[in-house]
Amino acid sequence: MSSRESRAAIRVSSAGPADPLLVEDLVAANRILAKEGVLDGWGHVSVRHDRDPGRFLLSRSLAPEMVSAEDIIEFDLDNVPVDDRGRDLYSERFIHGEIYKVRPDVKAICHTHAPPVIPFGVTTIPLRPMYHRAAFIAAGVPIFEIRDAAGMTDMLIRDPQLGAALAKSISDKPAVLMRGHGATVVAPSLPRLVGRSIFLALNATLQAQALIMTQGGVINYLDPEEARLIEAREGYGLGRAWKAWKRKALQLP
Amino acid sequence: MSSRESRAAIRVSSAGPADPLLVEDLVAANRILAKEGVLDGWGHVSVRHDRDPGRFLLSRSLAPEMVSAEDIIEFDLDNVPVDDRGRDLYSERFIHGEIYKVRPDVKAICHTHAPPVIPFGVTTIPLRPMYHRAAFIAAGVPIFEIRDAAGMTDMLIRDPQLGAALAKSISDKPAVLMRGHGATVVAPSLPRLVGRSIFLALNATLQAQALIMTQGGVINYLDPEEARLIEAREGYGLGRAWKAWKRKALQLP
Amino acid sequence: MSSRESRAAIRVSSAGPADPLLVEDLVAANRILAKEGVLDGWGHVSVRHDRDPGRFLLSRSLAPEMVSAEDIIEFDLDNVPVDDRGRDLYSERFIHGEIYKVRPDVKAICHTHAPPVIPFGVTTIPLRPMYHRAAFIAAGVPIFEIRDAAGMTDMLIRDPQLGAALAKSISDKPAVLMRGHGATVVAPSLPRLVGRSIFLALNATLQAQALIMTQGGVINYLDPEEARLIEAREGYGLGRAWKAWKRKALQLP
Amino acid sequence: MSSRESRAAIRVSSAGPADPLLVEDLVAANRILAKEGVLDGWGHVSVRHDRDPGRFLLSRSLAPEMVSAEDIIEFDLDNVPVDDRGRDLYSERFIHGEIYKVRPDVKAICHTHAPPVIPFGVTTIPLRPMYHRAAFIAAGVPIFEIRDAAGMTDMLIRDPQLGAALAKSISDKPAVLMRGHGATVVAPSLPRLVGRSIFLALNATLQAQALIMTQGGVINYLDPEEARLIEAREGYGLGRAWKAWKRKALQLP
């Protein structure tokens, strides 16, 4: 479905203006992840609307590093914009709505092509948590094989059916690798989404290093119980990094 | 052939002034690829003239990061400048003219020494497409062995014969690795050329990582049909990254 | 123990104002190590008080790159702040006090999650000194296994008992790797601490490279006697790098 | 020999003021190599005096990125400063004088701890030229084993005898690796020295990559004759990169 077709007929009402701080954090998340090399010119980040769990916020089609508050558009969970004012939309917006539909715990979603995760998407080596910052990986990071869902494609999640297939693949996990494409990460808040997106990529780099160094020998990953205890308290302390990331990304004083 | 010799005798007429936007994009392409680490002090980028397929535009001999509109010179496909005003020319300009001669589909060419592609030029491991951004690699990336064309040389494509040999080696492909030297990338437009040049290098890095991690095990590359479907729509969406790359490279607001 | 609980009851007297130059160096150390990629948003650096070996200086809970002189708080060796003015403290401040207690030779401590050291903390390959800048590694870098000290945890050194266990693990060594977490580095001065923290990470990168290149073959590490002779004179010469690091970190003219 | 001792007694006359452009290029070389990551806080660069082959120019003891024209000091080939005005000198200045003594072809010298060369100094894998920019490596890059010259040391070239041993080890080659320490590179000019220093490190990175990818399989290095033909013309073309490097390093318009 191309960016402007067959949208005119549908009318979606707004949940009202989102909290300006939430919008500011969404802009910050876009720019932080671009600065950290997690998002290239094509990835995107969304957040669930604070007034209505049936709406989410996502930029118009724009490189993440260029996103500002005025680029943010409200969508319903069928990925229909409330008012796009004729602007181009991300062709893969279906990733967002379809996951929000089936994952009420998810408040923020990032779709990324971060280079270090690409090799793990095309081999059979599972991602495992190397250290506390990547504890969420212990829950398991499945690989989405788009061929199983739709045969030969251009790899993009460009319709609701593919979005639903991806949502099914991520199941109750914090992230899913997309074979030959990238990954999608979910979280209960924007700061945790940014943390997970950064550490998914960093853990991939470090795990690859350990695998190569040991030539298949023993690696002492986090124990599932350690990971559970870390995740149970992760909110605390993340604010410290979030403040520094946001300051740099928004060039605050 | 050194930069100023035996050129005075030949007179080439101009196709007229090129579209200023095309020149701006050519300048941007030079600077983007320098910023992204694809071009060092020596690579170069050209574009076919918009008024005459028998002419191309290329900077005078200058590091790509320093190229401005006033440095751009018009050449005919025999690599003769219309009016070089006595300025030094790239000694490897023959890469450009000779490929434009035999590849009417090609509108832009980049010659690069991007580090990640060097190891693939000196081993027998073929480049394969790791993910959708590098789908063009599925068409095959041959290796140009200059020894086959000319025996022992200083590795440079410094005359029309070597340029023609390189053009024969690239055949109908999107890129060719040059053993012990670098690579040459071609595309139907400057934005796609920039994308291909960046993702040729990034795919090399990621493929090397996957090869090492799996120690020769199975890697799930893009299927040729997936690659074909991606390439068939690649134009769409590339503009988003191009806008961001260009803004940074030209320091636009 | 969370950041503000059960502290009100204890009163600790100040050793008096610290040397402003020491505070400036502590601020510089925080920012240098952030710039060099050794500290992310969570690591921290402390220094022993110049007027009283029973006190140390550490920032309030803040990303190292944002630390300024006004953020520095005085603590006693039981990790009790003299006057925190209600500000949040690092939950892992116990690393610092417990090591200062048992290591009178230590004047400065850094807790880091530097990526290159993570793989060495989860494999059985010991860090060895690749070159003169990392000679201190010859003394041995143990691995702290928090499971031995406390079973399943959230990996953080969040109480005096865990701090003491870490202090026991580092013993008389210059650094300790923390499995699934990071490392803690100690030194007789802030400049040497900064040097050791940077070169612990760089040596890990280079040793991993050598291990992989040789596939387990012979690596010619520094001889223990060479390391001893280097360490005996290391103070000399370090000032040159310290001056450059500090100038960049504090944006001095 | 520490930096200020036993120097007062010797008097060396000046060869007169050096060409200001040569001094500017020496300052630029220091800053370029710092920017490129080839020099850390401790490496150094020298150039032979343009008026007298028996004199060379080297900064006072200072991190290369901070070197300005006023820091440059004239030395004789016994490494005695003409007039150091009481400033600290590099303790390893003996590298420079001793090589200039026995290598009249050498006009510029760089001592570096560039990380990628360190692994090659401690393994038995010889550096080989991966591509045209590193053709000089075909001449061979020996490894200096300081234990052979002086047994157990602190690894530094801190006296004329060690300098002479290093000069003997480099023989007629363009560079020498120093086991557990770094490398020393020589060249007939500052621009070529800068190029060699950068590409020695880059070639090490790329050769390591190729070695690992092929797991000891065949790598198609430059042929010695190719390398000879490249070196015979290298001066041409280098100016293009030199101009760009210098502009950035000196922040020229």
- What is the mean predicted confidence (pLDDT) over D15-28? 98
Q: What is the pLDDT of residue D7?
A: 52
pLDDT at position D4 is 46
Task: Look at residue A2 in the predicted model and tell me its pLDDT.
Answer: 41
pLDDT band at B141; cut points 50, 70, 90: very high
Whether C227 and C136 have beta carbons less than 8 Å apart is answered as: yes
- For D181, the closest of C131, C212, C242 (CB atoms) is C131
**Cross-chain Cβ contact D41/C133 below 8 Å:** no
CB contact set of C230 (below 8 Å; sequence gap of 6+): C132, C135, C222, D154, D155
Would you say residue B184 has pLDDT above 80?
A: yes
- Provide the token pair at B38: 């694809």
Strand pairing class (A175-178; C175-178): unpaired
pLDDT at C5: 47
Q: Tokens 């990125």 belong to which residue?
A: D65
Residue B31 has pLDDT above 60, yes or no: yes
Q: Is A61 on the interface with B (CB under 8 A)?
A: yes
Q: In chain B, whose CA is at the least distance from the CA of D201? A: B115
Whether D1 has a pLDDT exceeding 80, the answer reads no
**Whether D36 is catalytic:** no
Write out pLDDT tens, residues B112-139: 999 999 999 999 999 999 999 999 999 9
Q: Which is the catalytic residue, given C65, C70, C74, C92?
A: C92
Name which of C123, C178, C207 to mutate to probe chain A: the one with the most chain A Cβ atoms within 10 A of its Cβ: C123
Closest approach of chain A CAs to the CA of C222, in angstroms? Answer: 20
A223 touches chain C (CB under 8 A): yes
Query: Looking at beta carbons, which residues of chain A come within 8 Å of B241?
Result: 40-42, 63
Decide if pLDDT at D249 tops 70. yes
D185/D175 Cα distance (integer angstroms): 4
* Half-sphere CA count of C75, side-chain side, radius 13 A: 25
Nearest to A65 among B202, B222, B244 (CB): B244
Cβ within 8 Å, pair D122-C247: no
Chains C–D, number of C-beta pairs less than 8 Å apart: 96
The answer for residues whose C-beta is within 8 angstroms of residue B42's C-beta and 6 or more apart is B63, B113, D237, D240, D241
Check residue C136 and give its pLDDT: 97
Q: Which of C192, C205, C209 to mutate to test the interface with D (most CBs of D within 10 A)?
A: C209
The secondary structure element, H or E, covering residue C76 is: strand C72-76
Distance (Å) from the alpha carbon of A231 to chain C's nearest alpha carbon: 8
Q: What is the pLDDT of residue D216?
A: 76
Question: Residue B193 belongs to what H/E stretch?
Answer: helix B190-214
- pLDDT at residue B70 tops 70: yes
Which of B111, B154, B206 has the most D C-beta neighbours within 10 Å, making it the best mutation to test the interface with D? B154
- Are B153 and D229 spatial neighbours (Cβ–Cβ below 8 Å)? yes
Residue type, A167: A
Q: What is the pLDDT of residue D2?
A: 41
B63 vs D214, D222, D243: nearest CB:
D243
Chain C, residues 229-248, CB within 8 A of chain D, namely 229-230, 232-233, 236-237, 240-245, 247
CB within 8 A of B6, min separation 6: which ones? none
Three-state DSSP at D182 gives: strand
Please indicate whether, in this complex, the C-beta atoms of C218 and D123 are within 8 angstroms of each other.
Answer: yes
Which residues in chain B have Cβ-Cβ distances shorter than 8 Å to D219?
122-123
Parallel/antiparallel/unpaired status of strands B175-178 and B143-144: parallel
* SS3 category, D125: coil
C44-48 and C175-178: which strand pairing? unpaired
**Dihedral angle of Cα B57, B58, B59, B61, to the nearest 10 degrees:** -150
CB pairs under 8 A between A and C: 96
**What number of other Cβ atoms are within 10 A of residue B165's Cβ?**
18
What pLDDT score does B2 carry?
41
pLDDT value of residue A1:
39
Reference A62, options B198, B244, B249; nearest CA is: B244
Q: Which residue among D132, D202, D214 sits closest to B115, beta carbon to beta carbon?
A: D202
Integer Cα distance of C78 and C159 in angstroms: 10
Closest residue by Cα to residue B107 from B22, B198, B232: B22
Closest residue in D to B61 (Cα) is D240
Distance CA C234, CA C221 (A): 18
Which tens digit of pLDDT belongs to each residue from C195-219?
999 999 999 999 999 999 998 789 9
pLDDT tens figures, D31-83? 999 999 999 999 999 999 999 999 999 999 999 999 999 999 999 999 999 99
* A interface test, pick of B194, B202, B214, B220 with most A CB neighbours within 10 Å: B220
A154 and B226: CB-CB below 8 Å? yes
Tell me the residue type at B66: M
Cross-chain residue pair C62–A240, CB shorter than 8 Å? yes
Length of chain A: 253
The proportion of chain B whose per-residue pLDDT surpasses 90, expressed as a percent, equals 90
pLDDT for C216 equals: 76
- Could D223 and B152 be called an inter-chain contact, meaning their C-beta atoms sit closer than 8 Å? yes
What is the chain D residue with the closest CA to C208? Answer: D119
Could you report how far apart the first and last alpha carbons of chain B are, in Å?
43
- Max alpha carbon distance in chain D (Å)? 59
**Cβ neighbours of C217 in D, within 8 Å:** 123-124
Cα torsion C152, C155, C157, C162: sign: positive
HEC sequence for A74-86: EEECCCCECCCCC
Parallel, antiparallel or unpaired: strands D175-178 and D143-144:
parallel
Q: How far is A81 from chain B (nearest CA, A)?
A: 19
Pick the closest to residue D231 from D161, D162, D127, D129 (CA basis).
Answer: D129
Spatial distance between the Cα atoms of D28 and D33, rounded to a whole number of angstroms: 8
Contact between residue A157 and residue A181 where contact means Cβ atoms under 8 Å apart: no
**Interior/surface letters A152-161, b for 16+ CB within 10 angstroms, e for the rest:** ebbbbbbbbe
Instruction: Output the pLDDT for position A9.
Output: 56
Question: Which residues of chain B are within 8 Å of residue D206 when distances are taken between CB atoms?
Answer: 115, 118-119
Chain CA centroid to CA D196, Å: 9
Q: In sequence order, which residues have a C-beta less than 8 Å from that of residue C60 and are 6 or more positions away? A: C71, C73, C84, C87, C88, C89, C90
Q: What sign does the CA torsion over C199, C204, C207, C208 have?
A: negative
Q: What angle do CA C57, C60, C61 make, to 5 degrees?
A: 130
Do D214 and B182 lie within an 8 Å CB cutoff?
Answer: no
- Identify the closest residue of chain C to A233 by CA–CA distance: C154
- Cβ contact B119–D210 (<8 Å): yes
The catalytic site residues of B sit at 92
Phi, psi for D234 (deg, rounded to 5): -65, -30
Strand partners, D220: none
Residues D116/D201, Cβ–Cβ less than 8 Å? yes
Residue of A nearest to B206 (CA): A119
User: In this structure, how many other beta carbons lie within 10 angstroms of the beta carbon of residue D80?
Assistant: 17
Return the structure tokens found at D209: 């990559």
Query: Burial of D13 by CB count in 10 Å (0-12 exposed, 13-18 middle, 19+ buried)?
Result: exposed
Q: How many CA atoms lie within 13 A of A76 on its CB side?
A: 11
- Chain segment B197-217, per-residue pLDDT in tens: 999 999 999 999 999 999 878
Q: What percent of chain A has pLDDT over 70?
A: 95
- Cα separation, B138 vs B196, in Å, equals 12
Q: What is the residue type of C17? A: P
Nearest to C222 among D42, D63, D180 (CB): D180
pLDDT tens for each residue of B1-24: 344 445 555 678 999 999 999 999
- The interface predicted TM-score of the complex, written ipTM, equals 0.94
- Chain B residue at shortest CA distance from A183: B131
Query: Which chain A positions have a beta carbon within 8 Å of C179's beta carbon?
Result: 220
Each residue of A104-123: pLDDT tens digit?
Answer: 999 999 999 999 999 999 99
Question: What are the CA-CA distances from residue A68 to residues A36, A47, D70 (Å)?
Answer: 18, 14, 47
Residues of C in contact with A210 (CB under 8 A): 118-119, 122-123
Decide if pLDDT at B72 tops 60. Answer: yes
A89 in Cβ contact with A73 (< 8 Å): yes
What is the predicted pLDDT for the residue at B3?
42
- Please list, in sequence order, all residues whose beta carbon lies within 8 angstroms of the beta carbon of residue C16, skipping any fewer than 6 positions away: C51, C52
- pLDDT tens per residue across all 253 residues of chain C: 344 445 555 688 999 999 999 999 999 999 999 999 999 999 999 999 999 999 999 999 999 999 999 999 999 999 999 999 999 999 999 999 999 999 999 999 999 999 999 999 999 999 999 999 999 999 999 999 999 999 999 999 999 999 999 999 999 999 999 999 999 999 999 999 999 999 999 999 999 999 999 987 899 999 999 999 999 986 667 889 999 999 999 998 8
Q: How far apart are CA C95 and CA C80, in angstroms?
A: 13
The angle subtended at Cα B227 by Cα B225 and Cα B232, nearest 5°, is: 95
Are residues C59 and C71 in contact, defined by beta-carbon separation less than 8 angstroms?
A: yes
The verdict on a CB contact (< 8 Å) between D210 and B62 is no
- 3-class SS at A148? helix
Q: Find the DSSP H helices in chain C.
A: 20-35, 94-102, 118-121, 146-150, 160-170, 190-214, 224-233, 235-249
| Nearest by CB: C152 against A209, A229, A245 | A229
Report the catalytic residues of A.
Answer: 92
User: What mean pLDDT do residues A152-168 have?
Assistant: 98
If you average pLDDT over residues B41-70, what whole number do you get?
97
Question: Which residues in chain A are closer than 8 Å to C41, comparing Cβ atoms?
Answer: 240-242, 244-245
Dihedral over Cα of B61, B66, B69, B70: its sign: negative
Cβ contact D63–C212 (<8 Å)? no
Residue C238: C-alpha distances to residues C36, C189, C235, D67, D152 (Å): 16, 11, 6, 17, 21
Contact residues on chain D for C247, CB-CB shorter than 8 A: 66
User: What average pLDDT score do residues D222-231 get?
Assistant: 97
* Chain D hits for B201, Cβ within 8 Å: none
Q: Mutating which of D219, D220, D234, D250 best tests the B interface, going by the most B Cβ atoms within 10 A? A: D220
